């Protein structure tokens, strides 16, 4: 089968399976309606109509299932279908038990579906803990039934599932769920065949992620680190799921500070319109202009006049503004390139005309109030909370104005379904107020989701805000340089400079340096502060980027040691299954199968440390597997005497999964370390 045929088949099968899932939900809804209709005594005619509709949906469902089976037969069996997506074990189990509980107790509306992972494999891989709350609900209706009896009735109503091997009632009424190895084998085989990890199927959305957001004419510092790293990883994950993601850098490129910068530029480089000014150190240039602004009243007047001209788009003033912005952009881009960050700049200046239009609309609709010379806007309840300042007492706009105007533009012109702001936790109240005001005036509706992804500050090892020894803010470029230096020292300490080529050493150095900085940030619950410590980041033991990057390099080396290629492993699938017989093999496989659940959880709460913990869990499970299950056996002379292909396949699938997780986290593994 050609690649194009395969792609067409994948597309058709995906659409069909999505339609099947929709039909299943529709059937379930109709079944519930039928049951409620019977209980409420609705007319026979209405009941008959609902049952007829239910039958039609079931008929369509069976036709679609047969169509998929036919395609499956034509294109190489069930493995191809499984390769299209990885299903969420949690959601499949919830659906399975929801149907069983609805069947067992049709009189209970919206029954509790409580599925948890099991802490001990002796008691299953998952547990259904719905029986206790169900017993209470039934008791409130005057029906006394023990949780164990409820569990037995639920199990009797469970449909046959390719996911479940067996069910057991334990303790006061827990239902232990044991997964079927054949299911795990089919999914992992599909991953190995395709060489990729397909994400769970989700509804595709237009998503705008607002992150990084440095200020023009100021250097990026450690305060920008978390927004940049967290925002990029969120974008990577959402892009992986197929969302249309717009990565926006809402830079501060407008306002009073540009008046003083432009006035200072005119004095320092009066011929700036014809000769490009040699501003190499924009930070010093900014400090010089700020000092003059604070101390020289005449200069301050000129600066304010420059702001007025800039807002009127005077050509000479606009040219000076563009020159200053371009110098900053070049410096920002150097850092984004080093960190492998893709982002599109759209500064506050872009929204100037939108702010003007917004203010007119707010005034004409009576949303603004006078408050000591300024004009403010309240959220849902006037007088409650903190209002937005839309117009300052001097007639100028504020961050509140630009953020509200930006939100309006993103919803109405960009057609965003979901908007995510990645800033420090200190701005939580600001964005809560922005959202409240936007909903009050109808910009935001239930059709658009808005999230503020807040995070704690970065601390030094003294547990105080991360500063240099002199008390200055740590520049991001200096931080990355120090990371490179420390990473190289670590590699030399391990003697890697003696076995790696100069190119391999440089690749390993950059992988470790940038990887350890990113991973240390993402590993912590973003709501918490964290201590920035290169010593801890570069530790090759524990949950660190160094340990994980070394682990993937080691996993990849196993097949190389056995002289087995990835293509040979895929070919071997025709005669050899992935080995899952040993308890450590099956334990590793079950960890890998949790991937969709981890990804879907992050789409709900936007906490990326879950993915870091998942990576570490994979590596720990792999170590247990590798220590107990020989993949390659050698004799005393070091000669290979046996290669276990089934286990090598499991190592390859593990590597594929880890590499996908690393990609979502922005880490770059290397072949040799």
Work out the burial of residue 15: count CB atoms within 10 Å of its CB; fewer than 13 is exposed, 13-18 middle, 19 or more buried: exposed
Q: Is the pLDDT of residue 59 over 60?
A: no
Averaged pLDDT for residues 644-661: 96
Q: Which residue has the tokens 């913990």?
A: 613
Higher pLDDT, 282 or 315: 315
Residue 80, pLDDT score? 39
DSSP E strands, 73-225 = 115-117, 126-128, 164-170, 174-179, 206-210
Cα 594 to Cα 149: distance, rounded to the nearest angstrom: 30
Averaged pLDDT for residues 261-270: 93
Averaged pLDDT for residues 546-554: 95
With contact defined as beta carbons under 8 Å apart, do 235 and 244 qualify? no
Alpha helix (H) residue ranges in 158-296:
181-194, 225-240, 256-268, 282-295
| Ramachandran region, residue 341 (left: φ > 0; alpha: ψ -120 to 50; beta: rest) | beta
Higher pLDDT, 289 or 28: 289
Cα 610 to Cα 125, 451, 666, distances in angstroms: 19, 18, 15
Tens digit of each residue's pLDDT (9 = 90 or more) over 474-495 = 889 999 999 999 999 999 999 9
Cβ atoms within 10 Å, residue 502: 8
Q: Is the pLDDT of residue 76 over 50?
A: no
Residue 57, pLDDT score? 61
Given pLDDT bands bounded at 50, 70 and 90, which one contains residue 281?
confident
Cα 537 to Cα 345, 513, 544, distances in angstroms: 31, 9, 6
Residue 56, pLDDT score? 60
Q: Is the pLDDT of residue 86 over 60?
A: yes
Cα 669 to Cα 553: distance, rounded to the nearest angstrom: 7
Tens digit of each residue's pLDDT (9 = 90 or more) over 102-137 = 999 998 888 999 999 988 888 999 999 999 999 999
Residue 638, pLDDT score? 80
Q: Is the pLDDT of residue 79 over 50?
A: no
Residue 422, pLDDT score? 98
Q: Which of 41-50, 370-379, 397-406 has the lowest mean pLDDT?
A: 41-50
| Mean pLDDT, the chain, integer | 89
Residues in Cβ contact with 640 at an 8 Å cutoff, skipping those fewer than 6 apart: 561, 562, 563, 632, 633, 634
Give the sign of the dihedral formed by CA 70, CA 75, CA 80, CA 85: negative
Q: Is the pLDDT of residue 463 over 70?
A: yes
Q: Which of 30-39, 69-78, 86-95, 103-112 has the lowest mean pLDDT?
A: 69-78
Tens digit of each residue's pLDDT (9 = 90 or more) over 406-416 = 999 999 999 99
Q: Is the pLDDT of residue 40 over 90?
A: no
Residue 472, pLDDT score? 77
Tens digit of each residue's pLDDT (9 = 90 or more) over 343-368 = 999 999 999 999 999 999 999 999 99
Q: Is the pLDDT of residue 55 over 90?
A: no
Residue 1, pLDDT score? 46
Kindly give the pairing relationship between strand 632-634 and strand 640-643.
antiparallel
Residue 473, pLDDT score? 81
Residue 39, pLDDT score? 57
Give the sign of the dihedral formed by CA 557, CA 560, CA 561, CA 565: positive
pLDDT > 70: percent of the chain: 87
Given pLDDT bands bounded at 50, 70 and 90, which one contains residue 11?
low
pLDDT > 90: percent of the chain: 70
Q: Which residue has the tokens 């006394």?
A: 144
Residue 578, classed as helix, strand or coil, is coil
Averaged pLDDT for residues 449-457: 96
Helix 645-665 and helix 609-628, axial crossing angle in degrees, nearest 10: 160
Tens digit of each residue's pLDDT (9 = 90 or more) over 289-339 = 999 999 999 999 999 999 989 988 899 999 999 999 998 999 999 999 999
Residues in Cβ contact with 44 at an 8 Å cutoff, skipping those fewer than 6 apart: none
Q: Is the pLDDT of residue 73 over 60?
A: no
Given pLDDT bands bounded at 50, 70 and 90, which one contains residue 618?
very high
Q: Which residue has the tokens 């009243």?
A: 297
Helix 609-628 and helix 545-561, axial crossing angle in degrees, nearest 10: 40
With contact defined as beta carbons under 8 Å apart, do 441 and 362 qualify? yes
Cα 531 to Cα 77: distance, rounded to the nearest angstrom: 52
SS3 per residue for 301-326: HHHHHHHHHHHCCCHHHHHHHHHHHH
Cα 520 to Cα 70, 160, 199, 620, distances in angstroms: 49, 44, 25, 18
Higher pLDDT, 187 or 51: 187
């Amino acid at each position: 089968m050609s690649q194009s045929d395969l792609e067409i088949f994948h597309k058709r099968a995906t659409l069909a399976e999505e339609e099947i899932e929709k039909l299943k939900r529709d059937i379930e809804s109709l079944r519930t309606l039928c049951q409620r209709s019977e209980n409420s005594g609705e007319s026979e005619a209405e009941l008959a109509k609902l049952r007829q509709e239910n039958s039609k949906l079931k008929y369509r469902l069976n036709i679609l299932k047969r169509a998929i089976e036919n395609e499956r037969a034509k294109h190489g069996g069930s493995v191809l279908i499984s390769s299209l997506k990885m299903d969420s074990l949690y959601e499949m189990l919830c659906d399975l038990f929801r149907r069983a509980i609805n069947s067992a107790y049709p009189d209970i509306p919206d029954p509790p579906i409580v599925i948890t992972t099991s802490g001990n494999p002796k008691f299953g891989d998952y547990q259904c803990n719905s029986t206790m709350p169900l017993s209470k609900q039934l008791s409130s209706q005057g029906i006394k039934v023990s949780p164990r009896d409820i569990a037995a009735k639920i199990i009797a109503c469970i449909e046959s599932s390719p996911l479940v091997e067996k069910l057991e009632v334990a303790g006061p009424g827990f239902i232990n769920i044991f997964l079927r190895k054949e299911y795990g084998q089919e999914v992992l085989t599909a991953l190995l065949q395709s060489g990729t990890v397909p994400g769970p199927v989700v509804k595709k959305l237009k998503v705008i992620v607002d992150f990084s957001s440095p200020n023009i004419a100021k250097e990026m510092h450690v305060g920008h680190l978390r927004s940049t790293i967290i925002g990029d990883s969120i974008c990577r994950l959402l892009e992986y799921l197929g969302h249309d993601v717009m990565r926006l850098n809402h830079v501060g490129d407008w306002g009073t500070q540009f008046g003083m910068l432009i006035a200072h530029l005119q004095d320092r480089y009066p011929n700036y319109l014809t000769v490009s000014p040699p501003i190499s150190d924009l930070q010093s240039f900014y400090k010089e202009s700020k000092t003059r602004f604070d101390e020289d009243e005449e200069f301050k007047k000129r600066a304010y006049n420059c702001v007025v001209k800039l807002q009127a788009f005077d050509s000479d003033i606009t040219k000076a503004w563009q020159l200053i912005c371009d110098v900053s952009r070049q410096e920002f881009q150097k850092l984004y390139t080093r960190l492998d960050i893709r982002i599109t700049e759209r500064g506050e200046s872009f929204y100037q005309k939108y702010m003007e239009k917004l203010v007119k609309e707010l005034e004409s609709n009576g949303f603004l109030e006078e408050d000591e010379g300024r004009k403010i806007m309240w959220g849902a309840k006037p007088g409650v909370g903190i209002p937005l300042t839309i117009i300052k007492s001097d007639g100028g706009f504020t961050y509140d104005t630009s953020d509200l105007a930006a939100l309006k533009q993103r919803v109405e012109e960009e057609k965003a379904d979901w908007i995510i702001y990645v800033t420090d936790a200190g701005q939580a109240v600001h964005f809560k107020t922005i959202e409240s005001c936007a909903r009050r005036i109808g910009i935001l509706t239930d059709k658009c989701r808005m999230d503020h992804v807040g995070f704690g500050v970065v601390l030094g090892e003294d547990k105080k805000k991360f500063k240099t020894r002199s008390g200055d803010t740590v520049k991001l470029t200096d931080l990355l340089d120090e990371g490179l230096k420390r990473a190289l020292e670590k590699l030399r300490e391990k003697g890697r400079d003696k076995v790696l080529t100069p190119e391999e050493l440089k690749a390993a150095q950059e992988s470790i340096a940038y990887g350890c900085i990113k991973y240390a940030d993402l590993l912590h619950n973003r709501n918490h502060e964290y201590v920035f410590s290169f010593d801890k980041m570069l530790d090759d033991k524990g949950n660190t980027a160094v340990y994980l990057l070394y682990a993937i390099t080691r996993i990849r080396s196993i097949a190389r040691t056995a002289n087995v290629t990835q293509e040979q492993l895929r070919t071997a699938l025709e005669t050899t299954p992935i080995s899952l017989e040993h308890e450590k093999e099956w334990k590793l496989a079950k960890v890998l199968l949790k991937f969709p659940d981890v990804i879907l959880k992050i789409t709900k709460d936007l906490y990326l440390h879950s993915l870091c913990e998942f990576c570490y869990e994979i590596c720990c499970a792999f170590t247990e597997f590798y220590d107990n299950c020989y993949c390659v056996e050698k004799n005393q002379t070091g000669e290979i005497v046996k290669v276990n292909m089934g286990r090598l396949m499991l190592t390859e699938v593990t590597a594929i999964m880890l590499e996908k997780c690393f990609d979502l986290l922005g880490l770059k593994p290397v072949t040799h370390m």
